[in-house]
Structure formats: C-alpha cells, structure tokens
C-alpha cells in the first residue's frame, strides 16, 4: 500500500527564490495546457493530447522569448505539472461517467499565484536523499529537513508545498507493506458528536478539545487588525500572514490529536464501525463552526486507512440508519428525538439510555451486520491483504525513468537507530 510521510523543510533565501520560480513555472504550464484544451473544446476540435501539449507548451515554449524562463527549472517539474493536469481531467471524466465513486468532481480550474497552496511534484529523477540528512531537489539545492521519523522505504515521489503561512513541506509517497497488529477480542461502534467528540460502544467518551473555539479570541483580534490594513500594502500582507499562521496552528493541533485518538482506537479494537455523517450538509447549518472544528471527516479517513494498514476491520454505517431512535436493549424504534434530549427511556422495555452511548451500541450492531453481509473492508479484503494499493492523494504515474546508480535511499543515516514517534494515548472517562 502507499503512504504519505510529511516533513517540514527549511530552505534558505536562495532556495526560496528557486522554489518560487518552480511554483510559477509549473503553474504557467498548467494554465497554458488547460487553456489549450478549453479552447479546443469550445471550438469543437478533438481533445488535445498530452504529447502535443508537451511539445508546444514545454519544449517549443522554452525557445521563445516569452517563455524562455521555463528552462530555469527542472524539466521534471514541468512534465509532472502536465501529468497532474491529465490526472485531474481523468478524475473529472470518470466522475461524470459514473466510474468514480463519491461526490462529483469538477473540471480542472486555472491556478493563481495568490492560491493558498503552491506545490510542485517530482519523481526520483529530480530528487534524492543525501547522507547528511538533506534532500537534493534539482535546480533548487540541498534542502534542510526536520526528520521527525525515518522513512520505511525508498520514496517513489515527493511533493514540495508552500502553505498560506509561508511554511515549506516535503511529502514523500512510499510503497510499504501492511503492518498487521496482533488480534484482539474487542470491537467498537463510534458515535460522533459535538458535546462529546466520540462515544464508544463500551461507554468510553472522548471529549472534544475544540481547538478553534479556544483560539477564537486571538483569531478575532488578528482578523480585526487585518481588516484595518490598506489593501495591497505590505502591512496587510504581514497581517494576513499572522492570521494564516494562527489558523495553521489550530489545524496542526487538531490533526495531531486526531492521529493520537484514531491510532489508539485502532490498536485497542479488532473492528471499528462509525456512522457516515452528512458533514457537508451540517456545515451549512447554524452548527457549521462546531462541525468544522470537530473535523469528523478527517478523523474517519484516518480510521479507515489505519484499519487497512494494521489489518483491522472497518465499516461505515449509512447515515439513514436511526441509531438514536432504536433501543439497543430490545430493538424497539422509539421515534426521533430533539438534540436537547440527551437521555431517554424506552417506552417498550423501560431501559434508560444515554443518547450517545445507545447510538454507539446500535452502530456496533449494524456494523457487524454489514460486515457479515460482505459489504465492508475486512482483514481478508484487498487493502489489508496487500492485493491492491490503498487510496492516497498522490498521482500514480511517474514521468521519466530512474537514473542508473542514483536511486533514492530508504531512511536517513542519522536516524537509522531511532524508533518511530510514540503516540500518547488519549484519556478515557466513563
């Protein structure tokens, strides 16, 4: 299966300038190729092939006065930008033809230098890991990297990104075998919520840390300072950067907490079942800020890929399942209940239920039924058995071929003796 490993990079002034040129050139190639295909479609002409675009917008464009600066960056950056455009078109076509599951994918859009995220995609021809712990990127130099953990295998590609806070990251895609954990006897149904982030079927509660709410006071002050700055001024750019850094801190804290909680749940349970919530719909209600602060979708995705990696069973219970209406003791459906009702008594058997705990127990029962019917991923399914690769947001096709004698090495020599970062368990409260 494929996994991503992200590391913080610290380029110097010259390297930041080289990366800015690479971001700009990749963006120009993307926009030029996208424009050609859109104009061809509007004129009723055939779809412009990648080979034709590569010849016109990369090879020949370098020889013109207007695009001569494309030669200042690695050719792999430009080719990969075109391949990323091909992947975006493929996802769009597969979506409208019904070959891609999930929400509909929009057609590719033009990129802007004002986008909050700038990135370039490189294969093994254009980067390599050095013995001194740096990462060499073609026509950029040796980037200093903060290695929080070693890579389990040689990376097949890397994505260099700059976020809205001005930070740089290296995202390596690594082919690795599943890390199967020892079997355990317990299973868990999870009910996600706002008052408590998650309630497990065994009665354990995970309280919501509310990272955005805790940082809201400082964010409001920074946002007021930003609104007072004149548009286009350097002071406004500085204020915008301060707001972006504060939002990045909130997102980092939430992501780290999600990783700790999801890892602990996967380690403690052989099977995990969670309700498939309509997050996009809830994000348009009066509870939108609290819903986005909780980050249910990101947490569920972590549970899914970690279950596949560690040989656990994972299943989603349909959002139409009435988990809060059914009595987990006798199975009687007692009807819908307003959100302020946190405890209720079954009119059939008289059992007093905590709303969230009862829903988690019902999710557990329904999840077991789904797995028994063969409609969920199990340890014998494709992802856990390694028959196919797990889904990752990385392009599979690589441009070019590896250079002889210059393949990327697995791990960093200075970190070979280090263990992986230990994840602290989250606290339980019954």
Q: Is 216 buried (19+), middle (13-18) or exposed (0-12) by CB count in 10 A? A: middle
Q: Exactly one of 191, 293, 366, 377 is catalytic; name it.
A: 191
**Helix-helix angle 13-42:75-96, to 10 degrees:** 40
Q: Which of 32, 84, 187, 275 is catalytic?
A: 275
Contacts of 14 (CB under 8 A, 6+ apart): 141
Distance CA 315, CA 323 (A): 15
Q: Would you call 32 a catalytic residue per the annotation?
A: no
Report the C-alpha gap between 120 and 82 in whole angstroms. 11
In this structure, the strands spanning 187-192 and 271-275 are parallel
Give strand pairing partners of 246: none
Q: Which of 32, 84, 356, 366 is an active site residue?
A: 356
Note if 275 is an active site residue: yes
| Residue tagged 């959002």 (tokens) | 319
Q: 48 CB contacts (<8 Å, ≥6 apart)?
A: 33, 36, 37, 40
Residue 86 known to be catalytic: no
d(CA 165, CA 17): 16
Nearest 5°: the CA angle 166, 171, 176 is: 165
Which residues are annotated as catalytic?
191, 275, 356
């Amino acid at each position: 299966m494929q996994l991503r490993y992200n590391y913080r990079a610290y380029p110097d002034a010259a390297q930041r300038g080289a990366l800015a040129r690479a971001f700009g050139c990749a963006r120009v190639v993307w926009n030029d190729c996208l424009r050609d295909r859109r104009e061809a479609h509007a004129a009723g002409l055939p779809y412009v092939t990648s080979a034709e675009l590569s010849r016109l917008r990369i090879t020949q464009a370098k020889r013109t006065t207007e695009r001569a600066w494309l030669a200042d960056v690695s050719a792999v950056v430009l080719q990969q930008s075109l391949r990323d455009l091909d992947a975006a078109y493929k996802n769009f076509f597969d979506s409208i033809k019904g070959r891609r599951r999930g929400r509909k994918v929009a057609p590719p859009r033009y990129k802007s230098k004002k986008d909050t995220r700038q990135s370039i995609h490189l294969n093994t021809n254009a980067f390599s890991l050095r013995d001194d712990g740096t990462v060499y990127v073609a026509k950029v130099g040796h980037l200093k990297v903060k290695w929080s953990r070693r890579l389990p295998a040689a990376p097949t590609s890397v994505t260099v990104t700059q976020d809205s806070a001005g930070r740089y990251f290296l995202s390596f895609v690594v082919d690795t075998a599943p890390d199967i954990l020892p079997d355990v006897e317990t299973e868990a149904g999870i009910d996600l919520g706002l008052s408590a982030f998650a309630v497990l079927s065994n009665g354990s509660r995970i309280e919501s840390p509310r990272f955005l709410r805790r940082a809201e006071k400082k964010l409001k002050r920074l946002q007021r300072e930003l609104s007072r700055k004149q548009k286009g001024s350097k002071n406004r750019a500085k204020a915008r950067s301060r707001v972006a850094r504060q939002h990045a801190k909130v997102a980092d804290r939430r992501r780290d907490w999600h990783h700790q909680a999801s890892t602990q749940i996967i380690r403690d349970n052989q099977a995990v079942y969670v309700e498939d919530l309509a997050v996009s719909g809830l994000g348009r209600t009066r509870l939108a800020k609290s819903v986005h602060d909780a980050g249910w979708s990101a947490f569920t995705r972590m549970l899914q890929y970690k279950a596949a990696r560690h040989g656990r069973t994972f299943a989603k219970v349909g959002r139409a399942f009435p988990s809060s209406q059914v009595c987990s003791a006798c199975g009687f459906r007692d009807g819908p209940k307003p959100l302020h009702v946190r405890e209720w008594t079954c009119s059939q058997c008289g059992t007093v239920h905590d709303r969230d705990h009862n829903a988690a127990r019902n999710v557990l029962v329904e999840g077991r039924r789904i797995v028994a019917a063969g409609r969920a991923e199990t340890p014998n399914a494709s992802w856990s058995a390694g028959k196919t690769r797990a889904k990752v947001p990385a392009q599979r096709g690589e441009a070019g071929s590896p250079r002889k004698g210059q393949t990327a090495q697995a791990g960093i020599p200075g970190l070979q003796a280090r263990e992986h970062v230990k994840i602290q368990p989250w606290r339980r409260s019954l």
